Each structure stands twice: as structure tokens, then as C-alpha cells.
Amino acid sequence: MFAVLYVVFVKFFKLGADVPHFAVYLLTGLVFWNFFAEITNIGVGAIVDKGDLLRKINFPKYVVIISTAVSALVNLLLNFVVVITFAIWSGVDFSWDALYLVPLLVIELFVVAIAVSLLLSAVYVRIRDVNYIWEVFMQVFFYATPVVYPLSMVTDKWPWLAKLMLINPVAQVIQDIRHVLVTPQTVTVWNYVGGIKALVPVLIVVGLFTFAVMFFKKRAPYFAEEV
Amino acid sequence: MAKKEMPTALQVENVKKNFVLPHERVRSVKGAFTGIVRRKQRRTVEVQHALREIDFSVKEGEFFGILGRNGSGKSTLLKIIAGIYTPTKGKVSVKGKLVPFIELGVGFNPELTGRENVYLNGALLGFSRAEIDKQYKSIVEFAELEAFMDQKLKNYSSGMQVRLAFSVAIKAEADILLVDEVLAVGDADFQRKCFQYFRALKKNNKTVIFVTHDMNAVREYCDRAILINEGVITHQGDANKVANEYLRLFNPAEATKNDTKQKQNSDRWGNGTVKFTKITAKAKEDHIEVVTAMKAERDHDDIVVGFRVKNSAGKTITGANTLRGQKHYRIALKAGEKRELRWKVPNIFGNDMFTIDATIRLSDGVTFCDNWDNAAQFDVAREENTPYSIVPDVPFTEGA
């Protein structure tokens, strides 16, 4: 996947020519995007797939979501080792802030993914085509998030659009990680929007998570009979 | 008994459960769109009252039975007690740790070994690794699977799987056990072992809540029971009495409105040259009075009339006919002639519901004139503490 994307976007379309270590840049984006995609894609069906179990035994339902998320976290860890190896091999110089910033950002992404999974899985119990809708949405979302192209391409032409894109917490996290891990040239919400407005993505995360937890809690008692 | 002073282990207060069954429900976004076009159709919803005002409590150390026919709401109630379903109204309060045993081996994974599955199943039932560690040996011993614990579960026979599952559930230290008709599995020996274990639990003040159709088990093991019919508790109290009420549910003599149903159950065949016109059975104090009336369509000079008595499990207990016992009793009938035989069967039966299959055949032993299965029913309900009959004056001798 990475190799194909690299050849297509870098060699054919000459993307990211102005970004140093673009290969690492691309790989970092992909790895974290995949982390988010894995949790939410599996998360949608998590409750329904475990329907058999839910009907026979009582346990806190959120465990199902957390367990899929944690398994994705393990995968991320493995992938991350590849990223680091690749980065060192490419001669990237890390900022030492990465040591505490990356874990923090991973936690943020983890929380977003769980919030989305909680919401979708609870809705999926009742409405059984949410998974297809989410699949399509994820494809759109993939291109709406600066994963395969550098955000700097957008900032040149439509600065307002770039700002809008950075509201997306997934984009914010990916850009931040690139900033500390690959190159400080990366456009982030902090250096591009700045000020109090830069907190918007984080607030979205908190808001979404609170809502998701409340919604899930309200629906959870009825999973067993509706599944 | 000192049961009264025992603290309550489980309190079910006024529990009500409705299931909403929509006739046409939008299950997808796509459906919602197509639904706009078909809006004119009314969306109808049917509310099924699975349980209404269920109210009872179980004391610590009690062996409590829940009885009811299929579809009466037993399993729903059990699921509510286990916390799987949320009651529409009312409250369930549980004191101590409750282990539901609604289906065997929840979460068993065929790819894992027996040992791993014990821990997995234990975790699902809410036990920590340390708790299972403590019990592991006795679990395996109880299941009699010492030699197989490191094999994958998929290589187990189904009986072995069931034994393992059952052992985990009952050996794990729970205060309240919910058991739903799972004892029917396992061989007779294992079943006996389970019941023995339940008895032992009683001594340790563990509570067992037991759902079953096996009235003998209820009579033998349960202290108290409730009978649920169509979502309401119709009887509760002494297990013996409730078990009798349960059997009465099936007794057409009590429920005459079920006449048509009885006809469906009964099964008649034969060449029809002599036909039963009436068969009744009535339990008296010391005997069962069976009346078989018949009418001949053709002349016969030697027919044999007989019947079998089956218990509620369908097992034949005893029988009688005009051929054996007394000397051959010859029955000759002219066409159109009627005859009525009155039988006095000594009441050797224990508490149960019995059905009678009656037969008329020719003395050649192969030609059946009328065979009427489930022709009549009677039920034996002894009020004393012994739900079985006592043979009087059994001779015995003394010896050293």
C-alpha cells in the first residue's frame, strides 16, 4: 500500500517535492490514518458481531469497543517501529519533544477513534447499513485529511480551506506528529491557525467523546434485545 | 425450618417487561428513503407483554425453582435477573455475586485448549485469574477431564465440552447460581453429580435458581418455586404444590377449554372394526379407575382390550390387558354391540401426570382394530411430603 501510494503520488504526480523526507512523511501519515481507520471500521460492527455473547451474559458493553481499539493500538506500535526505522534510515532529525508529544497525540487519536466507534456501533445495532455508509465516508475522509499529500499544497491556493481541514482532529494529530517527528516545516493547527482557535480540534474531541459515552450508555441496556 | 431468618439474596420487585415488535421497522438508512415513498402504509407496532408484575424474593441458601410452559416468560425473567435485559418497569436487586448459566460455555473458543477455555469462560462469568487459579484443579476434577486439558476444544466430544462448561460455572465461587434447563445434557451419572453438588452448595448458603421442565428434579431439590403462565406468577410457594400446578396446566380435565388441543395430541389408527367410544381415567385414593367403552362394527369372537400408562416424560410405567393377568378373558361382540370395561389399577404412582394409550386388537396379535394414543389422562398429586407411593408392609428381617 505504502509502496504503491509512494510511487503514484511522489514519482508520478511529483507531490511533496518541497517537503524534506517526503517518504517518511507519507508513511507516518498512513500509519496513523490506518490506526484510526482500523478502530472505527471494526468498531462499527463490534457490538453486533458479539451479539451472541451479549444475549447470554451481562458485562460492560464498552469492553467490546475497547478491546478492538487496544488490538489496533498494538498494531500501531508494531507499525511505529517500522516508521522509526525508516526515519532513522532516511536521516530525519527528531525533535526531543517527540518523546512526550507523540504519546499524547496517539492518546488523542485513540480517544477520537473510540468516540466514533462507540457512536457508530450503538447506531449500527438498530440501523444495519451504517457500516456501508461509514466505509464510503472513510474514503471521502481519507482525501479530506492530508494523508497522501502535504497540506502546504492547500495553504498555497485556498488558505481558508486548509484552516477548515485542520479542524478535523485526525488531520490535526497527523500533522502534529509529522511536525515533531519528520520535519518542523509541517503545517499544523498551532503554527497555521494559532491562538485560542487552535484549540478547536481538541475541544471537538472532548465534546465528541462526552456525547458518544452518554449516547452509548443510554443505549447499552437494550443491545441484548435489539441485536 | 430456619429459612425465615435467612437474609434475602434476590429480590424481584414488580418487574414488567414489554417487547416492542414493529411490524415494519426501518432497519437501514436506505429503508428510510424508500420508506418516504411508501409512507401511506401505517406503521403498526405490537407490544408484547412478556412479563407483568413479577414479584418474588429468594432467600440465601434457597433452592428456588421457576416453572412455566414454553413461552411463558421464564427465560426472559432469567435474563432480567442476570442483567442481560433491562426491565421496562420494576427492579431487581441481587446480593452477592451472581453467575448466570443460561447457555453452556459462553465464549468457548474451539481453537483454544481446554485449560485456556476455562480461564476465558471464567473471565466472562466475571472471575479474575487468581480466583480461577484457586479453583482450577477442582474444576477439572469435577469435569473428569484431567487428561484432556491441553487439547484443543475442537477435539472434545460435545459431552466433554458441556461437562467442562458446567464445571466452570458451578465451581467458580458464586453466591447465586442461575441455571436454565442445562442439566438435560450430560449422562445420568454427571447429572446426579451436579445435583449432589447443588445440595452441598445449600449447606454453604449458596443460592440456586433453577429453571426446568423436569418436575421430578423440582420436587426433589427445590425448596420453593414459582409458576409463571403468560407473564404472570400464577402460583408460588412449596415446590411440590407448584409442581402439581404445573402439571395441571397440561391436564385437559382441568382445562376443558383445551379440548381441541387434546384431540390433536391424541392419535388413533386401526382397521376400525371395533372402536373405542369413551376412555376415561380418574385417580382415586388407592386406585386409578380406567373406563374403556367400545362398540363393534362387525362380529368378533375374540378381541383383546388393553392399555398402557405413560408418565409425563412419555415413558411407559405399567399396563394391563384382558389377555394376561387373570386367565384369558374372552370378549365376543356382535356388530353394533357395546361393551364397557372398568379397570381398577392400584395407585402405585408417584406425583406426576400420566396418559393412557388404549388398544383393541384381535387375539392373533397383529390385527389392530383401534389404537388410541393419549386417549385419557390423570394426574397423581399426593399432598403429603412423600411425592411417591409407599409400599405398605414390606417384609423385612433383622440380622446382625
- When CB atoms are compared, the residue of B28, B79, B82 closest to A128 is B28
CB contact under 8 A, A53 and B86: no
Choose among A186, A40, A24, A169: nearest CA to A109. Answer: A169
Nearest CA in chain A to B102: A56
Residue B258: its pLDDT value, please? Answer: 41
Residue B40: its pLDDT value, please? Answer: 52
Q: Which of A39-43, A127-131, B273-277 tops mean pLDDT? A: A39-43
Q: pTM for the complete prediction?
A: 0.73
Q: Which residues of B touch A53 (CB under 8 A)?
A: 106-107, 124
**Rounded to an integer, what distance in angstroms lies between the CA atom of residue A143 and that of residue A19?**
19
| Length of chain B, in residues | 400
Nearest CA in chain B to A128: B28
**Rounded to an integer, what distance in angstroms lies between the CA atom of residue B41 and that of residue A62?**
38
Nearest CA in chain A to B18: A225
Identify the band that residue A57 occupies on the pLDDT scale cut at 50, 70 and 90.
confident
Give the residue from A47, A126, A222, A225 with the most B CB atoms within 10 Å of its CB, the best one to mutate: A225
Give the residue from A48, A49, A56 with the most B CB atoms within 10 Å of its CB, the best one to mutate: A56
Q: Tell me which H or E stretch contains A183.
A: none
**Rounded to an integer, what distance in angstroms lies between the CA atom of residue B161 and that of residue A141?**
47
Interface of B with A (CB under 8 A): 19, 26-30, 79, 82-86, 100, 102-103, 106-107, 124-126
| Length of chain A, in residues | 227
Q: Which CATH superfamily is domain B268-380 in?
A: abc- transporter (atp binding component) like domain (2.70.50.60)
Q: Give the distance from residue A193's alpha carbon to the nearest chain B alpha carbon, in angstroms.
A: 37
CB contact under 8 A, B102 and A224: no
Q: Which whole-number Å values give the CA distances from A87 to A8, A17, A27, A34, in the listed order?
A: 21, 17, 9, 18
Nearest CA in chain A to B82: A58
- When CB atoms are compared, the residue of B19, B27, B84 closest to A57 is B84
Give the residue from B17, B48, B84, B127 with the most A CB atoms within 10 Å of its CB, the best one to mutate: B84
DSSP A144: H
Please determine, looking at this structure, whether the domain spanning B2-25+43-249 carries the CATH number 3.40.50.300. Answer: yes
Contact B227, B242 (CB under 8 A): yes
Residue B352: its pLDDT value, please? Answer: 79
CB contact under 8 A, A225 and B83: no
Flag whether residue A63 sits within 8 Å of chain B, measured between CB atoms: no
What tens-digit pLDDT sequence spans chain B (400 residues)? Answer: 444 567 888 888 888 888 877 666 666 777 777 666 655 555 667 788 888 888 898 888 888 989 888 888 888 888 888 888 888 888 898 888 888 877 766 778 888 888 888 888 888 877 888 888 888 888 888 888 888 888 888 888 887 888 888 788 777 767 888 887 766 666 777 777 777 777 777 777 788 888 887 777 787 788 899 998 888 888 888 888 888 788 777 755 444 434 444 444 557 888 888 889 889 998 887 888 999 999 998 888 888 899 999 887 778 888 888 876 666 778 888 888 898 999 998 888 887 788 899 999 888 778 888 888 888 888 887 766 666 777 777 888 888 7
Helix (H, G, I), strand (E, B) or coil at B326: coil
Give the residue from B21, B29, B97, B180 with the most A CB atoms within 10 Å of its CB, the best one to mutate: B29
Q: Which residue has the higher pLDDT, A104 or B380?
A: A104
Q: Which of A178-182, A203-207, B68-72, B82-86 tops mean pLDDT? A: A203-207
Count of A-B CB contacts under 8 Å: 43
Helix (H, G, I), strand (E, B) or coil at B217: helix
Q: Give the distance from residue A164's alpha carbon to the nearest chain B alpha carbon, in angstroms.
A: 28
Residue B3: its pLDDT value, please? Answer: 44
- B2-25+43-249 and B268-380, same CATH topology: no
Report the interhelical angle of A22-49 vs A98-126 (nearest 10°). 30
Continuous H helices in B125-187:
129-143, 158-171
CB contact under 8 A, A57 and B82: yes
Q: Which whole-number Å values give the CA distances from A24 to A50, A82, A143, B43, in the listed order?
A: 38, 10, 19, 56
- Let me know if B110 is exposed, middle or buried by CB neighbors in 10 A (0-12, 13-18, 19+): exposed
Q: Give the distance from residue A52's alpha carbon to the nearest chain B alpha carbon, in angstroms.
A: 9
- When CB atoms are compared, the residue of B86, B103, B124 closest to A222 is B86
How far from each other are the two terminal CA atoms of chain B, in whole angstroms? Answer: 36
- Let me know if A214 is exposed, middle or buried by CB neighbors in 10 A (0-12, 13-18, 19+): exposed
**Residue A27: partners with Cβ closer than 8 Å, 6 or more residues away:** A2, A82, A83, A86
Choose among A208, A176, A212: nearest CA to A191. Answer: A176
CB contact under 8 A, A57 and B30: no
- The interface predicted TM-score of the complex, written ipTM, equals 0.74
- When CB atoms are compared, the residue of A55, A57, A222 closest to B124 is A57
CB contact under 8 A, B29 and A127: yes
Flag whether residue A227 sits within 8 Å of chain B, measured between CB atoms: no
CB contact under 8 A, B28 and A58: no
Q: Give the distance from residue A223's alpha carbon to the nearest chain B alpha carbon, in angstroms.
A: 8
Q: Which residue has the higher pLDDT, B219 or A47?
A: A47
**A23 φ/ψ sector (left φ>0, alpha ψ -120 to 50, else beta):** alpha
Give the residue from B85, B109, B176 with the most A CB atoms within 10 Å of its CB, the best one to mutate: B85
- Domain ranges in chain A are 20-226
Cell of A162: 486548509
CB contact under 8 A, A129 and B29: yes
Flag whether residue A133 sits within 8 Å of chain B, measured between CB atoms: yes
Cell of A8: 503514484
CB contact under 8 A, B30 and A58: no
- When CB atoms are compared, the residue of B30, B100, B125 closest to A129 is B30
Dihedral, CA atoms, A47, A48, A54, A58, nearest 10 degrees? 20
- Domain ranges in chain B are 2-25+43-249, 268-380
B88-135: per-residue pLDDT in tens? 888 898 888 888 877 766 778 888 888 888 888 888 877 888 888 888
CB contact under 8 A, A59 and B124: yes
Continuous H helices in chain A:
2-5, 22-49, 51-54, 62-90, 98-126, 130-144, 152-157, 159-167, 169-181, 189-192, 200-219, 223-226
